[in-house]
Amino acid sequence: MLKIYGHPGSRAARPLWVCRELGLQFEHVPTHFADGGTKSAEFLAINPAGRIPAIDDDGFCLAESMAINIYLAKKHGGELAPKSLEDEARMLQWSFWAMTEVEKSLLAVFMQRAELPPGSEIEKYFRERSPKDPAVEQAAIKALQHPLSVLNGHLASRQYLLGDSFTLADLNVASVFSMGLAAKFDFSPYPNVQQWLGRCVSRPAARPPKKS
């Protein structure tokens, strides 16, 4: 059985979203970084880098959220997976773009704005990595202007990154942009991005099912 390691509030949200889109059976192990879970011997045997998400698919262990998403989508096929070499290349282009051009700055905004229980482990984790500094937030917002304008322009003539339908390219990029939603980032100067992101995250599979 496929096992997904990682707290749902972390980048593990990315493969969890893929699994729900594909209707996969899986076991979720909510390993957390703030309580030492990612440093345990059991987890380091899955991912020696000590980062979530990671998966164990019947003995095949893999880390890095985007690599996991691509592996799962290609293994299980369906509507998410690229249908041609060109679509695969575009999906990779947008996934790498989100990770290299957007994620670091959006994460900086998220970490600066996150409201965390005072004195908690998670607060300690965030503030060690990102001490409160308005200049950091402003610099990150400025750095996002160019990539957001690029995406806004791309989406002026299409509903989704590769055309008319939602694919893994959208899931990968929207899962990075979700950090902006959590940080109440103002996407309104980029209306095409705002609408596209709304379309992506309003998919039923984008969030965990409600507990009954």
Ligand X SMILES: N[C@@H](CCC(=O)N[C@@H](CS)C(=O)NCC(=O)O)C(=O)O
Q: What residue ranges bind ligand X (CB under 6 A)?
A: 10-11, 33, 38, 50-53, 64-65
Q: Which two tokens stand for residue 169?
A: 């390219």
Nearest distance, CB of residue 189 and ligand X, angstroms: 27
Q: Which CB atom, from 67 or from 139, has the smaller least distance to ligand X? A: 67
Q: Which CB atom, from 11 or from 21, has the smaller least distance to ligand X? A: 11
State the Cα–Cα distance between residues 137 and 103, nearest whole angstrom. Answer: 14
Nearest distance, CB of residue 39 and ligand X, angstroms: 7
Q: Which CB atom, from 36 or from 198, has the smaller least distance to ligand X? A: 36
Q: Residues with Cβ < 8 Å from 140, sequence gap 6 or more?
A: 104, 105, 106, 108, 109, 112
Nearest distance, CB of residue 131 and ligand X, angstroms: 16
3-state secondary structure the chain: CEEEECCCCCCCHHHHHHHHHHCCCCEEECCCCCCCHHHCHHHHHHCCCCCCCEEEECCEEEECHHHHHHHHHHHHCCCCCCCCHHHHHHHHHHHHHHHHHHHHHHHHHHHHHCCCCCCCHHHHHHHHHCCCCHHHHHHHHHHHHHHHHHHHHHHHHCCECCECCCCHHHHHHHHHHHHHHHCCCCCCCCHHHHHHHHHHHCCHHHCCCCCC
Q: Which CB atom, from 12 or from 155, has the smaller least distance to ligand X? A: 12
How far is the first Cα of the chain from the last one, in angstroms, to the nearest whole number? 24
Nearest distance, CB of residue 139 and ligand X, angstroms: 21
Q: Which CB atom, from 95 or from 192, has the smaller least distance to ligand X? A: 95
Nearest distance, CB of residue 50 and ligand X, angstroms: 6
Nearest distance, CB of residue 210 and ligand X, angstroms: 23
Q: Which CB atom, from 26 or from 33, has the smaller least distance to ligand X? A: 33
